[in-house]
Amino acid sequence: MLRLDNIKVYRDIEDNELVRRTLLKNWVELEDVISANIVRKSIDARDKKNVHYTYAIDFAVKDETKYPKFKHIDYPEEEKIIKRRKSNYKPVIVGSGPAGLFCALTLVDNGYEPIIIEQGSKVDERLKYVKEYRETGKINELCNVQFGEGGAGTFSDGKLTTGISSPYIKKVLNYFYEFGAPKDILYSNKPHIGTDNLVEILKNIREYIESKGGKYYFNNKLTNIQKGENLIKVICNKNEFITDTLVLAIGHSARDTYKMLLDNKIKIERKNFSVGVRIEHKQDFINEAQYGTITELKLPPAEYKFAYHGAKRSCYTFCMCPGGEVIASASTGESIVTNGMSTYKRDKENANSALLVNIMTTDFKGNDPLAGMYFQEDLEHKAYILGGANNNAPVQRVEDFLNNVPSTKIGSVIPSYKPGYTLCNLNDILPEFISSTLKEGILSFDKKLKGFANPDAILTGVETRSSSPVTIVRNEDLMSNIEGIYPCGEGAGYAGGITSSAVDGIKVAIKIIEKA
């Protein structure tokens, strides 16, 4: 392949036409071209008077010697999996989030037939439970925003950006595209799918896995594990399974499961994590702040990503949802948990982002591996009480939060949280080291994006499920201290987001396949 890089585009143009014009502009004869694809697209808005897209295009020609001025690109060959597994027992995967699904996809594509256990429902039924909770506050503790087909990432923005580097990232993106995701996820520097698209994609993935011999068991909650000499009995509330290979892709909110695993002597350790609030601004304000007002491009809703490093703590934005909503995300009663959600179009009035402060393992006394989990639970219950003990979320204007006074009115930014909200003082429930670091962070980010500390911007509490508070320890073979059990994904402490969780699922599947 040959590459054309740093292609600047100042007006909207269809992908195919962009490729054609770019090739012609660079004196490439179209009849020589075998294939051509956009491989990268990003927005350069550093100069508000010169906002533009930047593209890269890879193309193959019949004779590269005709075009010596272009950079040659060698695409790495996909790593070959050595199939050593000969077991007559089917691998059992607990959890149908990205880690579990991509573990299952890798297994079925290599001729194995996994069993997928999910405590929640199929995605269509799950949608009904999530809608009911948002409208009435009535929660189904087995099937909700955290549990059910697709995992917690289903009700998010479907962001595929990741901080990891892995050859499997391209494989993840290609899988999503094949199952129905928009093509631009293959080359956008900030790919996202949207919750609305994820719903159909999950159905397509399920149908594919089933067509290859995999089998789902929905509404089956893992309740216990019994380890024999060479086999594992997997006990659920409805069914039992015998296997020699158990994948724990349980998600970061599987609190009952963490306790059960500890009781069964599976090694779990504390892990650093983060908690905080959601912050909302008008999306139009974010657009103008990031893009200016001059460009003729029809740009997507603008994003931001900031970090502040204080003397003792850090504050950062996370899971920013342009044109989205703050969504009720609890998995148990008498608790308030927030998250952000967007559809593919990102066309809601507000932008929102998590605003988080790091929590360290040394913040907790004693040696309980689940101390961070109990800290989360306590904060979520306090938010429930502060919100009025009626499933309303506690909210506060930024100006009032900075001044440590209760909010008594809503300004220009209307909270999007449903089923409702209660004006309050979030400082009353946040530990001082969290609230003070949040304030420092807000003021720091205001210097980077003027107006971030807008008095009417809204804070909604609390965001506690950004990542797992524990690590289920595993060795170089990705196996726990108990033979045949593979901790996997975000809930096990090895990922943070859809893409990295999916990558970890692929890695675990390969270890299973290659184990003699």
DSSP sequence for 331-350 = SSSS---EEEE--TT--SSE
Tokens of 88: 């007559």
State the chain's mean pLDDT as an integer: 96
Q: In the predicted model, is pLDDT for residue 77 greater than 90? A: no
Is 486 within the bounds of a domain? yes
CB 210 within 8 A of CB 171: no
Is 81 within the bounds of a domain? no
CA distances from 266 to 93, 229, 248, 269 (A): 17, 16, 11, 10
Which amino acid appears at position 89 of this protein?
Y
Q: Which helix (H) or strand (E) holds 378?
A: helix 371-386
Q: Measured between alpha carbons, how far is 145 from 128 in angstroms, rounded to an integer?
A: 11
Q: Measured between alpha carbons, how far is 483 from 491 in angstroms, rounded to an integer?
A: 19
The distance from CA 317 to its chain's CA centroid, rounded to whole angstroms, is 14
pLDDT in tens, 302-320: 999 999 999 999 999 999 9
Q: In the predicted model, is pLDDT for residue 474 greater than 90? A: yes
Range of the domain at 293: 273-463
Model pLDDT, residue 118: 98
| Residues 108 and 256 reside in one and the same domain | yes
Which DSSP string corresponds to 94-112? E--SHHHHHHHHHHHTTT-
Q: In the predicted model, is pLDDT for residue 100 greater than 90? A: yes
**Which residue's structure tokens are 């994609």?**
201
Model pLDDT, residue 439: 98
Last-in-domain residue among 463, 483, 504: 463
The distance from CA 400 to its chain's CA centroid, rounded to whole angstroms, is 31
Please tell me whether residue 293 adopts helix, strand or coil conformation.
coil
Is 83 within the bounds of a domain? no
Model pLDDT, residue 30: 95
Model pLDDT, residue 506: 98
Model pLDDT, residue 183: 95
| Residues 104 and 222 reside in one and the same domain | yes
Q: In the predicted model, is pLDDT for residue 293 greater than 90? A: yes
| Residues 447 and 301 reside in one and the same domain | yes
Q: Measured between alpha carbons, how far is 248 from 234 in angstroms, rounded to an integer?
A: 11
Contacts of 323 (CB under 8 A, 6+ apart): 283, 301, 342, 345, 346, 347, 348, 349, 350, 351
Please tell me whether residue 412 adopts helix, strand or coil conformation.
coil
Tokens of 467: 């990542």
Specify the DSSP class assigned to residue 310.
-
pLDDT band for 296, please (50, 70, 90 cuts): confident
Is 80 within the bounds of a domain? no
CB 262 within 8 A of CB 369: yes
Q: Measured between alpha carbons, how far is 276 from 273 in angstroms, rounded to an integer?
A: 11
Q: Measured between alpha carbons, how far is 372 from 470 in angstroms, rounded to an integer?
A: 8
Q: Measured between alpha carbons, how far is 445 from 356 in angstroms, rounded to an integer?
A: 13
Which amino acid appears at position 45 of this protein?
A
How many separate domains does the chain show? 3
| Residues 152 and 165 reside in one and the same domain | yes
| Residues 221 and 363 reside in one and the same domain | no
| Residues 279 and 260 reside in one and the same domain | no
CB 139 within 8 A of CB 239: no
CATH number at residue 265: 3.50.50.60
CB 333 within 8 A of CB 147: no
Q: Measured between alpha carbons, how far is 487 from 471 in angstroms, rounded to an integer?
A: 9
Angle at Cα 380 formed by Cα 235 and Cα 151, nearest 5°? Answer: 45
Q: Measured between alpha carbons, how far is 59 from 35 in angstroms, rounded to an integer?
A: 6
pLDDT band for 156, please (50, 70, 90 cuts): confident
pLDDT band for 154, please (50, 70, 90 cuts): very high
Q: Measured between alpha carbons, how far is 256 from 238 in angstroms, rounded to an integer?
A: 16
Neighbouring-strand partners of residue 354: 278, 318
Last-in-domain residue among 439, 463, 487: 463
| Residues 379 and 283 reside in one and the same domain | yes
| Residues 389 and 499 reside in one and the same domain | no
pLDDT in tens, 120-136: 999 999 999 999 999 99
pLDDT in tens, 437-446: 999 999 999 9
| Residues 296 and 422 reside in one and the same domain | yes
Mean pLDDT of 198-220: 97
Is 79 within the bounds of a domain? no
Is 359 within the bounds of a domain? yes
Model pLDDT, residue 512: 98
| Residues 140 and 218 reside in one and the same domain | yes
Q: Measured between alpha carbons, how far is 458 from 464 in angstroms, rounded to an integer?
A: 17
Using only C-alpha atoms, the chain has a radius of gyration, in whole angstroms, of 24
Model pLDDT, residue 458: 98
Model pLDDT, residue 78: 82
pLDDT in tens, 33-43: 999 999 999 99
For residue 475, how many other CB atoms are within 10 A of its CB? 8
CB 478 within 8 A of CB 486: yes
Model pLDDT, residue 315: 98
Angle at Cα 201 formed by Cα 198 and Cα 205, nearest 5°? Answer: 135
| Residues 351 and 382 reside in one and the same domain | yes
State percent of the chain over pLDDT 70.
100
Q: Measured between alpha carbons, how far is 282 from 350 in angstroms, rounded to an integer?
A: 5
Q: Measured between alpha carbons, how far is 506 from 206 in angstroms, rounded to an integer?
A: 16
CB 426 within 8 A of CB 396: yes
Q: Measured between alpha carbons, how far is 330 from 435 in angstroms, rounded to an integer?
A: 22
Is 87 within the bounds of a domain? no
**Which residue's structure tokens are 């108990």?**
482
Mean pLDDT of 83-100: 97
Q: In the predicted model, is pLDDT for residue 391 greater than 90? A: yes
Length of the chain in residues, anyone?
516
Last-in-domain residue among 40, 72, 104: 72
pLDDT band for 157, please (50, 70, 90 cuts): confident
pLDDT band for 369, please (50, 70, 90 cuts): very high
Lowest mean pLDDT among 60-74, 349-363, 453-467: 60-74
Q: In the predicted model, is pLDDT for residue 75 greater than 90? A: no
| Residues 252 and 283 reside in one and the same domain | no
Provide the whole-model pTM. Answer: 0.95
Please tell me whether residue 514 adopts helix, strand or coil conformation.
helix
Angle at Cα 482 formed by Cα 476 and Cα 487, nearest 5°? Answer: 60
For residue 157, how many other CB atoms are within 10 A of its CB? 28
Contacts of 27 (CB under 8 A, 6+ apart): none
**Helices 169-178 and 498-514, packing angle to 10 deg:** 100
